[in-house]
Amino acid sequence: MKVELLLSIPENRAVVRALSLRVLAEVATADEVTVSASFIEPLIDMADRGEVVSVEASDKPGGFGGNDLLAFVVVPVVAEVVVKLLIKGIGLATEEARKKLKYNKEAKAILKITIGDVEAIVTRTRSKRGRDKINALTQSVNAALLAYVES
């Protein structure tokens, strides 16, 4: 299976969506989570193609203005972790798969993202808010991944 198709599978998309919303609920305002919910699917599509939204705060035509949603950072970070697991043949979509993860040392290493992982996405997206919240985003993604595996 081609790597770029891994997130086109509905079960994998559902995992990325659920984890992204869990992280956003922790690091963003309720209003931002509501607005971001409509962007999750297109952001998963972009992540599936290896693309991210470049957040250039600009009032020029084609710019995002002052809109710098954390979803532009969170979804690609979560998608990257899920894809790394899927490449290794490790899924998160079923309870059985999540139980197996608890005993898989290689999977546990992939599940733990670093500040550097988040910084790389923040750099690609040029998100000022993401840069200001790198530590919180890293902690929240790690906590969401752990909670999801243990659910």
> Ramachandran region of residue 126, left (φ > 0), alpha (ψ -120 to 50) or beta?
left
Q: List pLDDT tens digits, range 108-131.
A: 777 889 999 999 999 999 998 999
Q: List pLDDT tens digits, range 31-61.
A: 999 999 999 999 999 999 989 888 765 555 5
What does pTM read for this prediction?
0.86
* Whether the Cβ atoms of residue 143 and residue 119 lie closer than 8 Å to each other: no
Helix and strand element counts for the chain (H, E): 9, 0
Cα three-residue angle 145-147-151, rounded to 5 degrees: 120
